[in-house]
Amino acid sequence: MAIFDFELLARDDSTSARRGRFHTAHGPLETPVFMPVGTRATVKGVTTPQLSEIGAQVVLANTYHLYLRPGADVVKDAGGLHAFMNWSRPILTDSGGFQIFSLADTLKLSDDGVEFRSILDGSKHFWTPEDNMRIQQDLGADIAMQLDQCPPYPADKSLVADAVERSAAWATRCKAAHSREDQALFGIVQGGVFEDLRLESVQRLAELDLPGYGIGGYSVGEPHDLMLESLAPVTEAMPADKPRYLMGVGNPTTMLQAIALGVDMFDCVLPTRTARLGTAFSSAGRMNMKNAQYARDFGPLDPACTCSTCAQYSRAYLRHLVSTKEMLGSILLSLHNLHFLLDLTAQAREAVERGAYGAFMASWLDSPAADDY
């Protein structure tokens, strides 16, 4: 298969779930796939060999943060992100648009681009879509995301409509400026929770015939049910022969429901962030490892899990690490939580291949764990 081809290997008859394979310069992505977030070219506390060991196929890094420090020029001189962070598998770079627009009180927006201030020293910076493409090409990831405008929730429909228009125009400019042949450029669907705006965004982006498409503007405070309700017609309208990437979603239950709607790719800081707060995912639900009930519990963290944390360390030991704020506690829980989501998506792939995804998802949603996520 050629680079950036997306193979549809299987479909589930009872849902819109699909099993695919997206080809990149650093190997294929087997979908559905969860992507650990390595914002500053590192998944916090986890080495790249450890990521390989737990089955990570791809890592996400953030253009905004890497542009500020160490600088795209440093990464380029190092040989690109793969060499810089010692990761030989695929990498995706977010455009940084979400980070810029989350700092709404410091930015100035125009059709030409966006002016923002550094979170490090307050210095002013201005990005056009063309600037953003140059930076992402210097970083050298396998997948680059377009610069887009991400509106907050809630927001007036007129503001969301403006974001859809501007994002579509910027996608066109990003495509014109993007020239790196070993890097796929993905567009980003916007539109908030307004179905007509979402469908307009899909149509505008599909006309560009990009290698793949992100779905942005979710996980910004909207109710979970409203997100899924508005997501369904979006995925149905998106090109069937391109990967669909739901950005910023890593809740296990939400991921499984989104896979049933035809989503292929996910990323989120949730597994590592909750780990640093002392919380573990498990087949029985979330576990707060600060709880005294684990002080003399010498069993594995999750008996159903095959990760190295569960194989080698007890709940009592993990509680001790978390309670004493030892960094090893965050590391071991991060490895476990990442493995949990990577394994869940692996099970989802296998269920689609068997034509049993509907039953697989129903079993999960009926389990005690589902109520805890």
Q: Where in the chain do CATH 3.20.20.105 domains reside?
A: 6-268
| 6 band by pLDDT with thresholds 50, 70 and 90 | very high
Please tell me the pTM assigned to this model: 0.97
Q: Decide if pLDDT at 36 tops 90.
A: yes
Q: Decide if pLDDT at 113 tops 80.
A: yes
Q: Decide if pLDDT at 104 tops 80.
A: no
Q: Which helix (H) or strand (E) holds 367?
A: none
The C-alpha R_g of the chain, in whole angstroms, comes to 20
Q: How far apart are CA 238 and CA 63, in angstroms?
A: 26
**Tokens standing for residue 195:** 């179905």
**Tokens standing for residue 65:** 């943060």
Write down the pLDDT at residue 172. Answer: 98
Write down the pLDDT at residue 52. Answer: 98
Write down the pLDDT at residue 107. Answer: 87
Across the chain, mean pLDDT equals 96
Q: What are 136-145's pLDDT values in tens digits?
A: 999 999 999 9
Q: How far apart are CA 319 and CA 224, in angstroms?
A: 31
Strands 212-215 and 244-246: parallel
Write down the pLDDT at residue 106. Answer: 80
Q: How far apart are CA 358 and CA 356, in angstroms?
A: 6
- How distant, in Å, are the alpha carbons of 73, 99, 280, 367 from that of 285? 43, 30, 8, 9
Angle (CA) 303-307-310 rounded to 5° is: 45
Look at residues 247, 83, 92, 90 and name the one whose alpha carbon lies nearest to residue 185: 92
What DSSP line would sit under 113-178, residue for residue?
-EEEE-TTT--EEEE-HHHHHHHHHHHT-SEEEPP-----SS--HHHHHHHHHHHHHHHHHHHHH-
Q: Give φ, ψ of 54 to 5 degrees.
A: -90, 5
> Annotated catalytic sites, by residue?
94, 267
Question: Does the 6-268 domain belong in CATH 3.40.50.150?
Answer: no
SS (H, E, C) 15-72: CCCEEEEEEECCEEEEECEEEEECCCCCCCCCCHHHHHHCCCCCEEEEHHHHHHCCCH
Write down the pLDDT at residue 219. Answer: 86
